Amino acid sequence: MFPEYDVIVVGAGHAGCEAAAAAANLGSKVLLVTMNMQTIAQMSCNPAMGGIAKGQIVREIDALGGYSGIVSDLSTIQFRMLNRSKGPAMWSPRAQNDRMLFAAKWREMLEQTPNVDFYQDMVKSLIIKNNQACGVVTGLGHEIKSKSVVVTSGTFLNGIIHIGEKQFGGGRVAEKAATGITEQLVELGFESDRLKTGTPPRVDGRSLDYSKMEEQKGDDEIVGFSYTDTPRIKAAEQRSCFVTYTSQEVHDILKTGFDRSPMFQGRIEGRGPRYCPSIEDKINRFADRERHQLFVEPEGWNTVEIYVNGFSTSLPEDVQYEALRKVPGFEQVRIFRPGYAIEYDFFPPTQLKYSLETKLIANLFFAGQINGTTGYEEAACQGLMAGINAHQKSRSLEPFVLQRSEAYIGVLIDDLINKGTDEPYRMFTSRAEFRTLLRQDNADLRLTELSYRLGLASQERMDKVIEKRNAVESIKKELAQFSVECAEANPYLESIGSATMLEKQKAGKIILRPNVDLPSLMQAVPRLAETLSHFSAESIEQAEIQVKYERYIEKEQEVAERMSQLENLVIPDSFDYDKVSALSNEALQKFKRIKPHTLGQASRISGVNPSDVQILMVYMGR
Amino acid sequence: MSGQLMGWDDTIVALATPPGIGAIGVIRVSGKKTFDVMNELFPSKDLHQQATHTIHVGFLKEGEQVLDEVVLSLFRNPKSYTGEDVIEISCHGSPFIQQQVMAAITSRGVRLAKPGEFTQRAFLNGKLDLAQAEAVADLIASNTAASQKAAMHTMRGGFSNDLQALREQLISFSAMIELELDFSQEDVEFADRTALNNLIHTLSMATHRLLHSFRLGNVIKNGVQVAIIGKPNAGKSTLLNALLNENRAIVSDIAGTTRDTVEEVLNIDGILFRLIDTAGIREHTQDLVESIGIEKSLEKMRAADIVLYLFDINEITPEQLQQISGDLTREDINHLLVANKCDLQSEALQQQFSALFSNIIFIAARDNRGIDLVKQELVARTIGGQVNTESTIVTNARHYDALLKLAGALDDVQLGLDQKVPGDLLALDIRQALHYLGTITGQITNEDQLDFIFSKFCIGK
């Protein structure tokens, strides 16, 4: 019934979909197995993509030829570039999406991708021979062969849902949990553990009184995620979100449910994310706060369903209902479905290689929540990398690895496999030591060529990058040469409170001043606007950032280069750490378990001291 | 034996723990004569009869005088670190005691070890391969948590407490910056720039205070170099003896860190003073310095932390002294004018000089008069009267260097705040600051910042 596949992807969430698309686009024959064909690419939690650090990741996925950026742009109902008032490294695209359209677009794109087959069934075990994965066994008993397997199980592995005192098995509300794989992998020697996450109630938008809330509109300009020419919606069409607040009264009602809370009563074992606490956690831990912000987010163009962001809870439904009714604008609220908490299995990611292949079983790859992460973007980028590497492995090609200085994706995977995680891992810009290099505006310049050389990013993408690169260089040259007369610029400079010029100055010099931006300068100096008229706004902005922040960018580049020296010192696979008697015991154990490939990687393993790395360096003959 | 071929057959001794005041100090002796020498100093047992890898408690005695109560650890060749006979003496951690013990050992034909010589011997005797030997050398100089701890324990006062406070303040500062970057969309209160300004100011002050303590710390660790300068008949030798005589019990002839010069070491109120070039004063009848202005004598004086310019009060005019004092001041030499041979006849002269010079002391070295004043003044000049013994003192050059860089990075942060640069760019300089402090306290990671943020702010929609 089934041919032999190159890559089987287990699970069709954000990670699974990206994995299937990447492997197939590289030329692998791919089977995507999901428990339910109707729930491909679900946004299980909030109907939004991007945000701070996450938006940068979506841009990176797009630059590498993944689909998440395009799908997001096609399903956007509101777009905002967050942190505009801060430096360019912090600008972060974020979209509200139509949940159903998002899933539909994903399925449409996958269906249009040659080499992707679909099959609806639960995978209950993996076929493993000689410590190599070579296929899956489904719930109906089919054995399907493949050269490699990517497992993206999300919250489904032994998932348990908690609402108040009720608890039942499930991977999402109203969907069955998956069983079998954890037990098999643990049998094979894998370590597994539990994590917890939660989601808020969904309510009927027709029952809300928006006049009691603050409106939050989208941007006037929709930048979007994809570097391709994917159409964007018109700014005027955007849907608004609304902001409202809890109150002491709401908190008091919520507290009446604490004796039935699965979290406070100890029924939940898994650890939840500190940055995404449930509402009961917030009022418990920050008891002095009189109110908490709630975001009222529409779930799509053609639905009245509303997502109550900020009200994640696993308290009993009656308590959720009574408390919500005291929130301004929610007096008449009707609940579509209650919030809940879910616990699921994950495999501590220190058991993975940089390629996301497991160390224990060859040709087996993990991506997404199974690795202890949280978030669509985090999952999707791992899926993309696992899909690429599953393809590479099936062709005996070199793994594709991104450095910390190249991409947030590199930071994420490096953190996961070297540091592990004991709470659901989310990306923050503070995790990246090269934040100024890893901007949302230059993900294409950073990554598309790497992916193009791999055979994933299309010729069209590459051409656009070359064009942008050339345009940016030309603009920078123009800015360095173009002299602005005092009379031309001074009225503008005066108007923004910047010192006036006493003699003519190069445009490239003027834009170094704080408060001065290139579009405004172009407006003030029509000659300059004329000179740059044939360049796109995107290229002009890119050139401006490169000129304006050169000092900072160079500083980080220097550190990145210094760091890469350690990255180039390869530790042979056969290296015998036991021979190195001077290593601290903790470092010795960690080195033996993680088997770092380079001294750079060794230096980032938690519990390893600089001296341990120095000792290794001495042993390796510097 | 390889040691003989290489001319390594002598016995060596060195302090194995960092110099300075700690709970205990370990002195290591290695070589053929180890057991002979230690047996003479350790009367309670015959060490020759004791097995290898045993420890022994008892008194070290120089004749009848007890030097210290110690613990000896015995290692017979080849089962020792160096592969030779080794005894490690754990004595009390005062520099004075350690010097006495070292003096007792070196006076019996044992030589002070050169830096790294124990490891070199271990290597030569096949106890370590070259890589291991290098690793040991690296470790000694490295940023390891262990060596950090060891170094920290040797510090006076609450250096680590101060650093801990500095570290926490810096983490909270950087976390507040990161908060407004990563969590700008959250409903939390962001620190205003005034608060950040205040915090960076506090950090900067604390760093500078630690930096300032380094000179004193260095002095406490390595001793204050003192030179006595003066014409041949000024009485330098007498002054030297007077300074040392009263402290006969705590004076010893040992070769110091610069082994080509012989020094006399004087302990006043716990501070070591090294009287440099005393060999010159003792052994030569004619003096090193005939007059001020000779390049060579200037060199000697510049090497000293404090110069005592000694003169016979009866053989100098106020004008001559003004000339000399002026020359010294111009050369930026920290000096004391010491008028010798003061007696009743010279009282008028003394009053005249007192009025003219603020840094003058009147003594009669032969009668031991005024010697205490000289000592008091030496101490006062060293600690400057500003630092009380409770405050934290930095003694480690690597820490000093890191603090210096930290101060530089903090200046950059301050500049960034003044210029209102965006938080993400400000964070670039803050990361430098975190890095430099991290080289002393252990690296500060983004997890530290996130822990701070999540514990203080309600994050999460």
Each residue of A558-582: pLDDT tens digit?
888 877 777 888 888 888 888 776 6
Residues of A within 8 A of B136 (CB-CB) are: 582
Model confidence pLDDT, tens digit, residues B201-245: 888 988 888 787 766 666 655 667 888 888 777 887 788 888 876
Residue A518, min C-alpha distance to chain B (Å): 17
Average pLDDT of chain B to the nearest whole number? 74
CA dihedral B314, B318, B320, B322 (to 10 degrees): 140
Per the rule left: phi > 0, alpha: psi between -120 and 50, beta: everything else, A353 is beta
| CA B8 – CA A607 distance, rounded (Å) | 40
Interface touch A429/B182, C-beta < 8 Å: yes
CA angle B151, B154, B157 (to 5 degrees): 115
pLDDT level of residue B396 (50, 70, 90 thresholds): low
**Rg of chain A, C-alpha, whole Å:** 26
Range A448-458 average pLDDT = 98
Residues of A within 8 A of B143 (CB-CB) are: 609-611
| CA A336 – CA B129 distance, rounded (Å) | 72
Tell me, yes or no, if A271 comes closer than 8 A to chain B by beta carbon: no
Q: With 60 as the cut, is the pLDDT of residue B8 above it? A: no
Which of A82, A433, A618 lies closest to B185 in CB terms?
A: A82
| CA A398 – CA A406 distance, rounded (Å) | 18
Interface touch A310/B461, C-beta < 8 Å: yes
Q: With 90 as the cut, is the pLDDT of residue A13 above it? A: yes
What residue type is assigned to position A247 of the chain? S
| Residue pointed to by tokens 């009720």 | A166
Q: With 60 as the cut, is the pLDDT of residue B130 above it? A: no
Q: With 50 as the cut, is the pLDDT of residue A203 above it? A: yes
| CA B100 – CA B107 distance, rounded (Å) | 10
Helix (H) / strand (E) containing B57: strand B54-62
More confident call, B69 vs A13? A13
- The DSSP output letter for A157 is B
Tokens of B142: 């490295």
Q: What is the pLDDT of residue B297?
A: 59
Q: With 70 as the cut, is the pLDDT of residue A243 above it? A: yes
| CA B178 – CA B184 distance, rounded (Å) | 9
Tokens of A444: 């294409």
Interface touch B446/A89, C-beta < 8 Å: no
Interface touch B461/A429, C-beta < 8 Å: no
pLDDT level of residue B151 (50, 70, 90 thresholds): very low
Q: With 70 as the cut, is the pLDDT of residue B263 above it? A: no
Q: What is the pLDDT of residue A125?
A: 96
Q: With 70 as the cut, is the pLDDT of residue B249 above it? A: no
A534 exposed, middle or buried (CB, 10 Å; 0-12, 13-18, 19+)?
exposed
Which of A282, A555, A611 lies closest to B428 in CB terms?
A: A555
Q: What structural domains and CATH numbers belong to chain B?
A: 2-141 (3.30.1360.120), 157-461 (3.40.50.300)
Residues of B within 8 A of A285 (CB-CB) are: 458
Alpha helix stretches (DSSP H) within A112-180: none
Q: What is the pLDDT of residue B40?
A: 93
Range B408-434 average pLDDT = 88
Phi–psi pair at A460, nearest 5 degrees? -60, -45
From residue A590, alpha-carbon distances to A301, A417, A605, A612 in Å are: 51, 12, 7, 11
pTM score: 0.75
Least confident of A370-384, B40-54, B108-122, B300-314: B108-122
| CA B227 – CA B229 distance, rounded (Å) | 6
Question: Which of A207, A55, A5 lies closest to B184 in space, CA to CA?
Answer: A55
Q: With 70 as the cut, is the pLDDT of residue B150 above it? A: no
Q: What is the pLDDT of residue B142?
A: 34
**B405 carries a ligand binding annotation:** no
Q: What is the pLDDT of residue B283?
A: 42
Least confident of A25-29, A606-610, B433-437: A606-610
Per the rule left: phi > 0, alpha: psi between -120 and 50, beta: everything else, A50 is left
Model confidence pLDDT, tens digit, residues B47-90: 999 999 999 999 999 888 888 889 999 999 888 888 899 999 99
Which residues of B lie closer than 8 Å to A, measured between beta carbons? 131-132, 134-136, 138-139, 142-147, 178, 181-187, 419-425, 427-428, 431, 446, 449-450, 454, 458-461
**B254 carries a ligand binding annotation:** yes
Residues of A within 8 A of B459 (CB-CB) are: 274-275, 277
**B233 carries a ligand binding annotation:** yes
Tell me, yes or no, if A282 comes closer than 8 A to chain B by beta carbon: yes
- Cis previous bond, B78, omega within 30: yes
Least confident of A167-181, A335-349, B126-140: B126-140
More confident call, B411 vs B301? B411
| Alpha carbon of residue B313 to chain centroid | 36
Residues of B within 8 A of A198 (CB-CB) are: none
Beta bridge partners of A340: A199
Interface touch A611/B454, C-beta < 8 Å: no
B99 exposed, middle or buried (CB, 10 Å; 0-12, 13-18, 19+)?
buried
What residue type is assigned to position A318 of the chain? D
Q: What is the pLDDT of residue B106?
A: 84
| Residue pointed to by tokens 């001794």 | B13
Alpha helix stretches (DSSP H) within A92-136: 99-111
Range A208-224 average pLDDT = 97
What residue type is assigned to position A235 of the chain? A
Interface touch B145/A276, C-beta < 8 Å: no
Q: What is the pLDDT of residue B441?
A: 65
Q: With 50 as the cut, is the pLDDT of residue A397 above it? A: yes
CA dihedral B393, B398, B401, B406 (to 10 degrees): -80
Question: Which of A113, A93, A43, A136 lies closest to A226 in space, CA to CA?
Answer: A93
Q: With 60 as the cut, is the pLDDT of residue A550 above it? A: yes
| CA B153 – CA B23 distance, rounded (Å) | 9
pLDDT level of residue A442 (50, 70, 90 thresholds): very high
Model confidence pLDDT, tens digit, residues A104-130: 999 999 999 999 999 999 999 999 999
E strands in B296-414: 306-312, 335-340, 360-362
Residues of B within 8 A of A621 (CB-CB) are: 131
Of chain B, the percentage scoring pLDDT greater than 70 comes to 70
From residue A394, alpha-carbon distances to A6, A26, A152 in Å are: 6, 11, 18
| CA A170 – CA A185 distance, rounded (Å) | 20
Range A80-98 average pLDDT = 95
Tell me, yes or no, if A133 comes closer than 8 A to chain B by beta carbon: no
More confident call, A138 vs A565? A138
CB–CB of A598/A417 below 8 Å?
no
Q: What is the pLDDT of residue B3?
A: 36
Residues of A within 8 A of B186 (CB-CB) are: 293
Residues of B within 8 A of A274 (CB-CB) are: 450, 454, 459-460
Beta bridge partners of B55: B73
| CA A40 – CA A42 distance, rounded (Å) | 6
Q: With 70 as the cut, is the pLDDT of residue B154 above it? A: no
More confident call, B96 vs A8? A8
Q: With 60 as the cut, is the pLDDT of residue B1 above it? A: no
| Test mutation, A405, A418, A430, chain B, max B CBs within 10 A | A430
Which string of DSSP letters, residue by residue, matches B415-426? HHHHTT--HHHH
Q: What structural domains and CATH numbers belong to chain A?
A: 1-457 (3.50.50.60), 459-551 (1.10.10.1800), 568-619 (1.10.150.570)
- Chain B residue with minimal CA distance to A91? B181
Interface touch A293/B187, C-beta < 8 Å: yes
Q: What is the pLDDT of residue A512?
A: 92
